[in-house]
Copies of this chain bind each other. A is one copy, B any other.
Amino acid sequence: MADLTGKPTLLARRLGIDSQHEAIAFVQKDCAACKSEGFSAHSRVLLQNGSSEIFATLHYVTGDLIRPEDIGLSEIAWQRLNLSESTLLTVSHPAPLTSFADVRGKIFGQRLTESTSHQIIQDIVEGRYSDIQLSAFVTACSARVLDGDETIALTRAMVDTGRNLDWGAEIIADKHCVGGLPGNRTTPIIVSIAAANGLIMPKTSSKAITSPAGTADTMSTITNVALSVDEMKAVLAAQKACFIWGGSVDFSPADDKLIRVQKALDLDSEGPLIASVLSKKVAAGATHLVLDIPVGPTAKVRSIEAADSLRKHFEKTAAHFGIRLRVQVTDGHQPVGRGIGPALEARDVLAVLRNQPGAPPELKDRACLLAGALLELTGVAEPQSGTQKARETLESGAAYKIFEAICLAQGGYREPPVAAHLRAVTAPHKGRVAQFDNRRLAKAAKLAGAPEDAEAGIDLHVYLGDIVEQGDPLFTLHTQSPGEMAYALDYVASNPGIVELTAP
């Protein structure tokens, strides 16, 4: 069949396949549209449903999965075309992706400009890049290191292609952690301390991509985090702060598409990292930002020199966008807090906020250090007095009070859930805790089921330097099913160095 302009049409069928960000369309190899349009397997095609149009990658089907007059769609294709039932789609060749010529230019050594960055990011946001093309762009930005101006251009492009908020206030506080350390769930505590001191802090956080938990995963075990921008504004008006999932607003929509490929390639480069972080802060209207850079042998940043280079690059870019930045380099040698996994981390956060006796002291100390830096940066506290002021706010119960109020404003306040299956992993011999392998700890927590199972993860019982006897518990695995427990135990057994013990 063909539409009025003579372009072939095919009947859309929803296949229920999750192809993530890349829209995929399935057609019979010898369908009339393929013949007449000259498509081949993996062609990029333009699909149109009235005024909705998307790029998709074509896969051939040889069996009876679909009929010759059908076009099967992956979920993201179905959604982007705003389909609710089978509909005739127009199928044609897309206009050339001119921005990819600029990606090729970057590969061969040209610099990104404001204009080329904007066009590339716009096309990425609109789903015009295949995964192969996204991978080439991400790789090019690592192989041809972005200089300061290119980082600014990329940040600007990521801001301009998404939603932007202006709170009409002089000071909008924010914090960010460069990551790589299990646990380290300081954000809800810092936000509460800042709000209790009168700061406006519209905090958005991410869900885990490859880690066992993101702040949004952790907070979703306590309250609602998927708020619309209007709901977010209402919470802010009432409580000055919030903890919501960034995915539910639309700041820097290019970011998660790029991060997904960066993670698949395990590629971290300064320029793209800075653009990723700062684009979301600029879009959210932040004016004052504290940046936590944990440094340790198995953290994301592994040396003071690397942290220093990253700090300078961050400062230059933040200054361009009028953001006052304070970088806090922190200890990244061991996890922060005892829990690793959404609910276990939430438990630690609540223990600190409630001033419970068993609260992890290092989580409290780090939250007060970073909150103090934010109080000093925003002029709420005198230099050198921020940490003390933050500690007083926390210990007085004022931080917990506003935390509770924010949760209720976000639609509910509940205790985090507890896992069905627990198994302790014990010391094979007497020794001193010499090192934590943060990456393998995170892996074990994920095998236990985090973050999909909010209850799952790891509960640590030791700190660096502790002396343990043979048989003492090092950590406890939490899972929702026996199968996941067996798998996590198997991984732990074959990776004895997750918690390294040396002769005491």
User: Interface on A for B, CB 8 Å cutoff?
Assistant: 6, 8, 14-20, 26, 29, 32, 35-38, 40-42, 59-65, 75, 100, 104, 107-109, 130-136, 138-140, 142-144, 260-261, 264-267, 446-449, 452, 481, 483-484, 486-487, 490
Contacts and interface: CB of A to CB of B under 8 A. Distances in A.
Contacts of A265: 100, 104, 132-133, 136
Complex copy number for this chain: 2
A261 B486 CA distance: 40
A20 B42 contact: yes
Contacts of A6: 486, 490
B38 A18 contact: no
Nearest to A62: B16
Given A17-B61, A35-B484, A481-B36, A143 B132 contact: no
B132 A60 contact: no
A143 B137 CA distance: 11
A7 B16 CA distance: 27
Contact of A135 (B65, B135, B260, B487): B135
Give me the 4 closest cross-chain CB pairs, A-B, nearest first.
A16-B63, A36-B483, A143-B143, A135-B135
A261 B484 CA distance: 37
A286 to B, nearest CB: 31
Contacts of A140: 139, 143
Nearest to A16: B63
B104 A75 contact: no
Nearest to A447: B38
B37 A487 contact: yes
A292 to B, nearest CB: 25
Nearest to A481: B35
Nearest to A37: B487
A65 B17 contact: yes
A212 B82 CA distance: 36
A18 B60 contact: yes
A42 B264 contact: yes
A29 B36 contact: no
A167 to B, nearest CB: 35
Contact of A136 (B108, B135, B144): B135
Contacts of A130: 264
Contacts of A19: 59
Nearest to A41: B18
A18 B104 contact: no
B38 A449 contact: yes
A446 B37 CA distance: 9
29 contacts: A15-B63, A16-B62, A16-B63, A16-B64, A18-B41, A18-B59, A18-B61, A19-B59, A35-B449, A38-B446, A38-B447, A38-B448, A38-B487, A42-B260, A42-B264, A65-B65, A100-B265, A104-B266, A107-B143, A108-B142, A131-B131, A131-B135, A132-B132, A132-B134, A133-B135, A135-B135, A135-B136, A136-B139, A139-B140
B267 A32 contact: no
Given A6-B486, A38-B487, A264 B107 contact: no
A293 to B, nearest CB: 20
Contacts of A133: 135, 264-265
Contacts of A109: 143
A107 B266 CA distance: 12
Contacts of A100: 265-266
A38 B139 contact: no
Nearest to A444: B38
Nearest to A43: B264
Contacts of A264: 42, 130, 132-133
Contacts of A104: 265-267
Contacts of A448: 38
Given A136-B265, A139-B143, 11 more contacts: A8-B483, A15-B65, A17-B61, A18-B29, A18-B62, A38-B446, A38-B484, A42-B264, A131-B131, A135-B139, A136-B267
A149 B315 CA distance: 40
Contacts of A32: 483
Contact of A14 (B26, B42, B63): B63
Contact of A142 (B62, B107, B449): B107
Given A140-B143, A265-B133, A26 B17 contact: yes
